[in-house]
Amino acid sequence: MTTVIREYDLLQQINQGKGTDLIKIIKLNIPLKVRPFLEEAGGLAGFTGKFFAEGFRPRYEFQEFIRQCFIIGYKSLPLVGLTGFIMGLVLTMQLRPNLVQYGLESALPGMVGIAIVREIGPVITALIFAGKIGSSIGAELGSMKVTEQIDAMEVSGTNPFKYLVFTRVLATTLMLPILVILSDAISLYGSYIGINIRGATSFGFYWDEVFRNLTFGDVMPAFVKTYFFGFAIGLVGCHKGYHSNKGTEGVGRSANSAVVLSSILVFLIDLISVQITDLMGLN
């Protein structure tokens, strides 16, 4: 409500020619744009706080956690594997002509290996994971919220935050790194096939080349950031679903905004992590 009035005020001011007063525009405009953002960030921060405050106290929902690991991890395998394979294959085929031009064909396995392990594997897998798992968590919890299933759990002696949210966030946090490792491996295999479409490289030589070029500084930061990706995706999905608005439209919106927000967070975390590894001199 307040936003509408402010927007209107702003238009009025501009129409009356007072709008040239830059300070005024900024004063009016900043709260307008910043406030929803801050509210979103505040809500998410509160949710994260609750995760750490409540989750690690008994009673532990071990069975539900295992079930979620199965659903979130195992059932994402085909999708992650397929996209990983195509990614490795395509990347190789597209890099190849340029490298051949400079006679650097032998550098292909090393380059693709670094690209996949450091950046493309983690980020693409996380984005696909956000699309598949983030949205399904958002929609599932959203529909549980609007059909009062979350309330029903609460009156049945269950803490729904622990039962639903904690288990899912923990599962996404622990499953995504595993999926990324598998996806990296399949990507690299795809790349091997990509190389052999035109050239002839032996299987052993290919893997030797890949691993010779990978250092601790390549592998470790990439591995660590996937935990944060997984955590962000699970948390955002749960947050959006858990605070879903009434009605089926609300459920759709939760699922949608879960994907959008968690995809943005994946890139933000990626950005932060590259700064940190840079500072630590790990490249």
Partner 1 sequence: MAIYPEIKTHRLKEHLSEEVVRIRGLKKSFGSNKVLDGFDLSLYRSENLVVLGKSGSGKSVLIKCIIGLLEADEGEIHVLGHSIPELDHEELDQIRVKLGFLFQSNALYDSMTVRENLEFPLRRHWIVVTQDQVDQMVREALENVGLGHTLDMMPIELSGGMRKRIALARTLILRPEIILYDEPTTGLDPITAGEINELMVSIRERYKTSSLIISHDMKCVRETADRVVILIDGKCYAEDSYDGLSRSKDKKIRDFFE
Closest CA to 238 of 154, 140, 146: 140
Q: Give the nearest distance from C-beta 234 to partner 1 in angstroms.
A: 17
Instruction: State in angstroms the smallest separation of the CB of 259 from partner 1.
Output: 21
Residues in binding contact with partner 1, number by CB under 8 A: 16
Q: Is 208 in the site for partner 1 (CB under 8 A)?
A: no
CB of 77 to partner 1, least distance (A): 20
3 near partner 1, judged by CB under 8 A:
no
Compute the least distance from the CB of residue 157 to partner 1, in Å. 4
Within 102-161, which residues bind partner 1 (CB under 8 A)? Answer: 140, 143-144, 146-149, 151-159
As measured in angstroms, the least distance from the Cβ of 237 to partner 1 is 16
**With contact defined as beta carbons under 8 Å apart, do 71 and 178 qualify?**
no
Nearer to partner 1, 92 or 172 (CB): 172
Interface with partner 1 includes 78 (CB under 8 A)?
no
Is residue 90 classed exposed, middle or buried when 0-12, 13-18 and 19+ CB atoms within 10 A define those classes? middle
Instruction: Tell me the residue type at 80.
Output: V
Site string for partner 1, 158-187 (x = CB under 8 A): xx----------------------------
Burial of 238 (0-12, 13-18, 19+ CB in 10 A): buried
DSSP 208-277: HHHHHH--HHHHHHHHHHHHHHHHHHHHHHHHHHHTPPSSHHHHHHHHHHHHHHHHHHHHHHHHHHHHHH
- The reply to whether 4 sits near partner 1 by the rule CB under 8 A is no
Closest to partner 1 by CB, 149 or 213: 149
Residue type, 245: N
Give the shortest CB-246-to-partner 1 separation in angstroms: 10
Task: Between 140 and 218, name the residue whose CB sits nearer to partner 1.
Answer: 140
226: contact with partner 1 by CB under 8 A: no
Residue placing its CB nearer to partner 1 in the complex, 140 or 184: 140
Question: Would you count residue 54 as binding partner 1 (CB under 8 A)?
Answer: no
Secondary structure percentages of the chain, helix, strand, coil, to 5: 90, 0, 10
Name the nearest CA neighbour of 176 among 224, 118, 227.
Answer: 227
The amino acid at 129: F
- Decide if residue 9 touches partner 1 (CB under 8 A): no
Closest CA to 170 of 227, 106, 122: 227
Instruction: Give the footprint of partner 1 on this chain (CB under 8 A).
Output: 140, 143-144, 146-149, 151-159
